[in-house]
Amino acid sequence: MSEHIDVFLGDWHRMVAEKDTQAIDALLADDVDIGAPPYLEKIEGRALVGHLLGLILHTIEDFTYHRRWRDGGEIALEFTGRVGELSLQGIDLITLNDRGEVQHIDVLMRPINAIEALRDTIRPQMLAYLQGGG
């Protein structure tokens, strides 16, 4: 498991830095779920979660990871960035399954105005994606 996590963290940081969303998709479990910043309900499934992660990565500018914690397959990754003029701090809480894939990911952020700006930018794009048949 420990090697899985080392490999995962190296891959994940590279993919996020390069916004390589296709490669990120390959790191997600089929039945991955995400707890996005604006909503309590989880969004499930690799296609939807991958698409949402891609939109988040393309919306947050100057995305930079800082502190990171790990405890078995449970990982916490702090990041900063901005949406337009609004700076933000966030954290990814990631659970890996025993194949080293992302099983759960929760994204928490502050402050409110940056979360609202992220939501308002991404919501119409997610709706268009869903209406396009996924």
By C-alpha distance, which of 40, 73, 75, 79 is closest to 57? 79
| Residue 2-31 contact track with its own copies, rule CB under 8 A, x = bound | ------------------------------
Length of the chain: 134
3-class state of residue 42 by DSSP: coil
- When the beta carbons of 14 and 123 are compared against its own copies, the nearer one is 123
Give helix 112-131 / helix 46-59 axis angle, nearest 10°: 130
Residue from 5, 114, 117, 122 touching its own copies (CB under 8 A): that is 114
By C-alpha distance, which of 75, 67, 78 is closest to 94? 75
Question: Contact between 120 and its own copies (CB under 8 A)?
Answer: no
Question: Contact between 109 and its own copies (CB under 8 A)?
Answer: yes
**Contacting positions for its own copies (CB under 8 A):** 35-40, 67-71, 74, 76, 78, 86-91, 93, 106-112, 114-116, 119
